[in-house]
Amino acid sequence: MNYLASIGAYAIMVREVFKKPTKWRIMRALILKEIDELIYGSLGILIFISFFIGGVVAIQTALNITSELIPKYLVGFATRQSIILEFAPTFCSIIMAGKVGSYITSSIGTMRVTEQIDALEVMGVNALNYLVFPKIIALLLYPFIIAIAMYVGIFGGWFAGVFGGFSTSADFVTGVQLDFIPFHITYAFIKTLVFAFILATIPSFHGFYMKGGALEVGKASTTSFVWTSVVIIIINYVLTQLMLG
């Protein structure tokens, strides 16, 4: 029953976010600030993780090819497919649920605890539009960092494959180019956009409606990470079934 009430409250929150917009001059500054915090601030960690995960995927694929009948270019092919279809959009979003989601919940939660949200509401400001809308707009740029993560992941695979002696550069590049289906990129970006909305709204929901003090802010961040990850995984399954199934 509580879960149903929370889903209802979340839907009402999302509707409120788009009501009574804040002045554009102020909103523009808020959006730029959020792009800096949420997108630019996450670039480093995603590039770092993508490079090494790409490398690990390439090595593990190569080590599992034991038969001489399986061509070596499969390393590049498997790396590309894993990175584009799952690692970059889904795995990166789980990492973002930890990094960006916790930041969003704790920053909004702290504003709730210190009555800053009450102060906004007393002034007649739509606090949800002021706090959450810029995050949603900033995260529309999320597919750009996922595109970078895809590129870096495949490069990491090439690097580990070639310099680890698991594949030749030519084989790897052949594998990367083999049977390329452009719709897979579309699928990945559609998933990414849906995940971006989840990443902006679920942590905001947990921060905005939290009750209590500093300890509860920490608990809300953890709960928010768990629920954001769960929803991303479920939506990932649903979208995959709908678009590729």
Of 22 and 223, nearer to another protein (C-beta) is 22
Site string for another protein, 124-143 (x = CB under 8 A): xx------------------
Stretch that binds another protein, among 7-15, 22-30, 85-93, 200-208 (CB under 8 A): 22-30
Applying the rule CB under 8 A, the residues between 100 and 119 that interact with another protein are 114-116, 118-119
32: contact with another protein by CB under 8 A:
no
Q: Which of the ranges 41-49, 121-129, 139-147, 161-169 carries the binding residues for another protein, by CB under 8 A?
A: 121-129
SS3 track for the chain: CHHHHHHHHHHHHHHHHCCCCCCHHHHHHHHHHHHHHHHHHHHHHHHHHHHHHHHHHHHHHHHHCCCCCCCCCHHHHHHHHHHHHHHHHHHHHHHHHHHHHHHHHHHHHHHHHCCHHHHHHHHCCCHHHHHHHHHHHHHHHHHHHHHHHHHHHHHHHHHHHHHCCCCCHHHHHHHHHCCCCHHHHHHHHHHHHHHHHHHHHHHHHHHHCCCCCHHHHHHHHHHHHHHHHHHHHHHHHHHHHHHHC
> Does residue 186 interact with another protein by CB under 8 A?
no
Find the shortest distance in angstroms from Cβ 126 to another protein: 9
Sites of contact with another protein (CB under 8 A): 20, 22-23, 25-26, 114-116, 118-119, 121-125
